[in-house]
A and B are shown apart, each in its own frame.
Chain A
Amino acid sequence: MDFRYTPDEQQFRLEVRRFIAEHCPREIRGFHEIHAEHVALEMAFLKKMAERGWLGAAFPREYGGLGGERAPMAEYILIDELHHADLEGVAVTLTYIVGIIGNTLLQVGSADLKQEFLPRMLNAELRFAIAYSEPDSGNDIASIRTRAVDDGEDFLISGQKRFITCADTSDYLWTLVRSEAGSSRHKGLSIVLVPSRQPGVTIQVFEMMNGIQTCEVYLDEVRVPKRYLVGVRGHGWQHLMEALARERMTMINFKAVSEPFERFVQWVRVAEMDGERLASDPVVRQSIANMHVKIAGGKMMQLIAGARTADKNYVPTLEAAACKMYRAMLSWEKATLAMDIMRSHGLLTVDTPGAPLNGWWAAEYGWAGHELSGAGGMDLNRKIIAQQGLNLPRWSN
């Protein structure tokens, strides 16, 4: 066992740390997901990373990557450092591009599709949204009704997708469809890349509790060439499961819990009210330490998964489910604790004068509800652990 980065990895990490300090615009820090008005700034920042080859650190050279020789953990370190620098929104975008879609394309995409997409993705020229869930299909993704009808060279895709974050600013929708007529449940699904501005695509933005935007996507006989099918037709479920484990591992990185809490602890260390240090109150001390201990467990699970995925063939299904479940368990608990310690100051919202940590925790309190549902939330991930890890009986078909 060795819980240290190798000298190469450590050097890369410090390089990323310096790069962020030097090149990251202040406007895109502090957000859970990037707002539409900051997309251009974010893409310019990602482009600078791409110029250094970082987006494709683990990808083969033929697609514009560095061939994976830099360090097996480069992707992990990059995401980690973005969270460390309060750049969760950028980490999420990067995860869409590289972590989920890039890696899945690399594993199962056709040669043509890889050639068409990967070089532009690794160069930060494309944005994506992930389109799985529907009004009647949340956790139960196998019940989706969006269908792709075979029409010669093309699919004609119709249906409705809900909670498709970043759809409004995307170039492509990574879309789960039912491609085989008469199929049901896990069989007969496929993943198709749908151009976001293709005729028949309508995208409506709506707001989540803390001002974050997400989208409803209507697909009305959208014509998509069959070469935009990802992997094997009808095998979308298997591709989806692996992509989901990657998603939980990167986008749902536990650092999104631990780093803000550590910033909060730093604030408590120096905060005073009426001339008294908050950090001298025994109740504050005990409750912060208790949350620190809980959070350490999640950080450790994240680390285990990160170390194991240095082997590119390892899919960290259980570790990822555990991280996501645990992140959901702590979502309101940590926000409630932080706000209790800040008292009424914690209710002040972003850009309010005197708001501690610029109102991050008031926003977090609204966001916490999303934690309980996003990426399977608490209960779907427990189901994965129970049924795939502990071999308990299945209760769903």
Chain B
Amino acid sequence: MDVRLTDEQQMMVDSAREFLQATCPLATVRQWEHLPDGYPAQIWARMAEMGWLGAVYPESYGGMGLTNLDMTLLMREMGRVALPGPFLSTVLLASRAVLEGGTEAQKAALLPRIAAGELLLSFAFVEESARPEAATVRTTARLDHGSYVLNGTKHFVAFAEQADRMLVVVRTREAGDPEHGLTMFLLDARAPGIEHVSLGTLALQPEAKVLLHDVRVDAADVVGRVDHAWEILDPVLQAATAIVCGYMTGIAEAAHELGVSYSKERVQYGQPIGAFQAIQNYLATAWAKNTMGEYLGYYAAWLIDQGIPSREAVSTAKAFVGYAAVESTQLATQLHGGLGATVDARTTPFLRWAKQLQQTLGNCQYHEKVVAAEILDRDPSGFDEKHALALV
């Protein structure tokens, strides 16, 4: 058993941290909040140059073949500076679905351009329930003279109006089993019949409600097999959920560090507030929970990389980190007193991000529901013996 990073991972983390600290100081990140697209295009271009946008692709598509654990480590560094951008929707969700399910022609046409930072994809999956499960999908597609006609409403589609194309998940067949009968399509983001309702969000990242009115799609723009999208989507969603735990860990840690440093500087009652036991108790507890969450995220990503059943671990990690990141950022805000409640407070972006990502890809309640099914409806005994796992 070994919980250390490899030398390669450590080098990747060190160079990412160096780059992000140099290019994304908090004052700059705060200015980006006013950009019309909600993220800095010049940093996105630099990330493309460094290979981050195609990092999970195999080398044959211009990628680096990074593991899910590597990506979690990288996302943690982005979280530490609260870097905004369509990384989750384009890189971890939509393009990964194309990578896993697309034809050679689709992959060759899309992936190198995404990796180069020339193309953004949005990911239109959840509907009104906002839950990342197959049953949420009610948008339909019917076959009509060799092409498909799409109708329905997709909710909370990040960067829908900024992206060039949209990967949309629809129901092509009512099969009784909600996980059967789903199909993915690639749409031009401005195809006739698509209507966007712009949504502002807590973390200041653009989203839209996307209404599809008789949107006509060519059968060649199906991604993966008709009716069998869930076989591709489920593992993509699982991996993205584990990886996003890394970003949330970075958010939680950075906010905690702000809380610690402020507690050492701020003097009240004649001493730094960090000398009071009450403040120390808060910070000690948050440190412990953040460290636990950090490694639960790594563990989930590592299990996926190893091909070991991981649904319980992914949901446990997402729920744990969801609670921990929200608590940690709330604490940092609280410790800054009245200043913490101002819009310009240095803790504000972290507070916003933690809550937003806690709700993204399933909130804590949702993931606890998944955990309940895993531990109560299946018998997990013997699992650790079979896989020689040390976390039992």
Produce 1/0 per residue, A270-309, CB < 8 A to B.
0000000001000001101110111011111101101110
B147 to chain A, nearest CB (A): 43
Q: Determine the distance from Cα of A6 to Cα of B1 in the docked complex, in whole angstroms.
A: 7
A256 to chain B, nearest CB (A): 14
User: Which among B105-113, B231-239, B271-279 touches the partner chain?
Assistant: B271-279
A386 & B391 in contact (Cβ 8 Å cutoff): no
| Residue among A300, A379, A384 facing the most chain B CB atoms (10 A cut-off) | A300
A101: Cβ under 8 A from any B Cβ: no
A307 & B320 in contact (Cβ 8 Å cutoff): no
11 A-B contacts, Cβ less than 8 Å apart?
A2-B302, A3-B389, A5-B1, A6-B1, A80-B392, A269-B379, A293-B367, A297-B289, A308-B3, A379-B277, A393-B264
Question: Which residues on the B side are within 8 Å of A301 (C-beta)?
Answer: 288, 291-292, 295
Question: Which residues on the A side are within 8 Å of B277 (C-beta)?
Answer: 379, 383, 395
Question: Which residues on the A side are within 8 Å of B280 (C-beta)?
Answer: 382-383, 386-387, 390, 392, 395
B372: Cβ under 8 A from any A Cβ: yes
B: residues with CB less than 8 A from A are: 1-6, 69, 260, 263-264, 271-272, 274-277, 279-281, 283-285, 287-289, 291-293, 295-296, 298-299, 302-303, 316-317, 319-320, 323-324, 364-365, 367-369, 371-372, 375-377, 379, 381, 385, 387-392
Question: Which residues on the B side are within 8 Å of A290 (C-beta)?
Answer: 319, 368
B260 & A390 in contact (Cβ 8 Å cutoff): yes
Question: Which residues on the B side are within 8 Å of A390 (C-beta)?
Answer: 260, 280, 283-284, 287
Interface size classification for chain A: 35 or more
Q: Determine the distance from Cα of A308 to Cα of B2 in the docked complex, in whole angstroms.
A: 8
Which residues 95-124 in A have Cβ within 8 Å of B in the complex? none
Majority-rule SS of A interface residues? helix
A240: Cβ under 8 A from any B Cβ: no
A379 & B376 in contact (Cβ 8 Å cutoff): no
Q: Which of A14, A266, A292, A306 makes the CB contact (< 8 A) with B385?
A: A14
A292 & B292 in contact (Cβ 8 Å cutoff): no
List the B residue with the shortest CB-CB distance to A393.
B275
Q: Determine the distance from Cα of A307 to Cα of B252 in the docked complex, in whole angstroms.
A: 24
Q: Determine the distance from Cα of A288 to Cα of B371 in the docked complex, in whole angstroms.
A: 9
A386/B1 contact (C-beta < 8 A), A293-B320, A326-B288 known:
no
B296 & A300 in contact (Cβ 8 Å cutoff): yes
Q: Determine the distance from Cα of A150 to Cα of B210 in the docked complex, in whole angstroms.
A: 84
Contact count A vs B, C-beta below 8 Å:
171
Which residues 246-268 in A have Cβ within 8 Å of B in the complex? 265-266, 268
Q: Determine the distance from Cα of A232 to Cα of B365 in the docked complex, in whole angstroms.
A: 54
List the A residue with the shortest CB-CB distance to B318.
A293
Question: Which residues on the A side are within 8 Å of B274 (C-beta)?
Answer: 386, 392-393
A392 & B3 in contact (Cβ 8 Å cutoff): no
List the A residue with the shortest CB-CB distance to B285.
A382
A4/B285 contact (C-beta < 8 A), A290-B368, A293-B319 known:
no
A10: Cβ under 8 A from any B Cβ: yes
A325: Cβ under 8 A from any B Cβ: yes
A13 to chain B, nearest CB (A): 8
B3 & A303 in contact (Cβ 8 Å cutoff): yes
A379 & B281 in contact (Cβ 8 Å cutoff): yes
List the B residue with the shortest CB-CB distance to A396.
B277
Q: Determine the distance from Cα of A390 to Cα of B328 in the docked complex, in whole angstroms.
A: 15
Q: Which of B302, B385, B391 makes the CB contact (< 8 A) with A299?
A: B391
Question: Which residues on the A side are within 8 Å of B6 (C-beta)?
Answer: 1
B369 & A300 in contact (Cβ 8 Å cutoff): no
A289/B264 contact (C-beta < 8 A), A1-B5, A279-B377 known:
no
Q: Which of A6, A265, A386 makes the CB contact (< 8 A) with B281?
A: A386
B302 & A3 in contact (Cβ 8 Å cutoff): yes
A-B interface, 8 closest residue pairs, ranked by CB to CB distance from nearest:
A297-B292, A386-B280, A385-B284, A289-B368, A382-B284, A322-B288, A393-B275, A285-B372
A209: Cβ under 8 A from any B Cβ: no
A392/B264 contact (C-beta < 8 A), A289-B372, A382-B281 known:
yes
B302 & A1 in contact (Cβ 8 Å cutoff): yes
A25: Cβ under 8 A from any B Cβ: no
Q: Determine the distance from Cα of A266 to Cα of B364 in the docked complex, in whole angstroms.
A: 23
